[in-house]
Each structure stands twice: as C-alpha cells, then as structure tokens.
Amino acid sequence: MGIYWAYWVRQQPWQANVFASSLAPDAGEHAVPREVRAMKALAQRHPAPAYRLDPAFVEHPLIFQRATEFLYSFRIARHSPWLLAPDTHSPANCRLIDQQQNVALYECPR
C-alpha cells in the first residue's frame, strides 16, 4: 500500500517552488493564459466597472472563461466602452488607451 501511495503522489503535478510561494498575492497566476494576465494588468492600470472582449477572445472558450473569472471583480459586459482586443486588431472608431504584451485596451465611445 505504501508503495502505491508513493506512486500516486509522484503522479501529481506538485512543484516545490509553487508550494514555497503559496502565500504570495500572485501565487499560481502562471496557471492562467498569458493574454488573460495581460488583460488583468491593463484593467488594474485603467480600472473600469466592466470591459468588453473582442470577438477573437469571446470565441476562444479558454480565454473567455479565464478572463471572466481571473479579471473578477472587473466584469465582462457586452456594452462596455472599454474594449480588450488582440494588439493585431485595430477596431474602428476606437482610441488606443494602453497595451500589455499582445493585448490592447481601447476606448470605443457608443
């Protein structure tokens, strides 16, 4: 039994550096896609009640769901004037506010 328990533990994705940092405010953020971490950095620099995601992000379930939960308490709302989009897009009638890695924040007045 003991051998099986040890084998079971070895199968788990345990990392000493993660354990050592488990109390830190940003601990474990590497579990989130890079784009989503960039979105959060932008949201923290330019706080707004809600942000809109570009369709390229909405259509990507991983990015969409991670953005929704990781950005919280910032909300994702379809009608927000604050647009988070890939920096390769240039949405019409929008003003670039800031950029972080490959994500850009635009203001799109409606």
Partner 1 sequence: MNARAEIRRGGFWLVALLLAIPLINLAAWHVGAFLNPLIPAALWLVALGYAARHAHTLWPLLLVLPAFGVLLLGHPVVDWDARSIWFFHAKRIFLDGSATAPLDNYAAWSHNDYPVLVPAMAASFARGLRHWNEIFPKLAIFATTAPVLLLMGLLLRNTLAWGLWFTAVLALAGPLLINGYVDALTGLYFGAALAVAAHLQTPDVPPAQRPVFAWLLALLIAALTLTKNEGLPAAGLAALMAFTGPRWRRVLAACAAGFLVYLLLWKLHVWQARIGNDLFVRSPLQQALERLRDGTSAPLILAQFVRHSAPFLMAALALAWVGRQQRPVLGGALVVLGYAALLFGVYLMTPHNLDWHLGTSVSRTLLVVNLALVTFLAWALTHWRAAPAAATPSLSRLTEPTA
Number of residues that bind partner 1 (CB under 8 A): 33
CB-nearer residue toward partner 1: 20 or 96: 20
78 binds partner 1 (CB under 8 A): no
b/e map 4-18, b = 16+ CB within 10 Å:
eeeeeeeeeeeeeee
Show the CA angle centred on residue 61, arms to residues 94 and 90, nearest 5°. Answer: 20
Which one of 10, 12, 79, 92 is in contact with partner 1 (CB under 8 A)? 12
Whose tokens are 């920096």? That residue is 87
Site pattern 14..53 for partner 1 (x: CB under 8 A): xxx-xx-xxxxxxxxxxxx---------------------
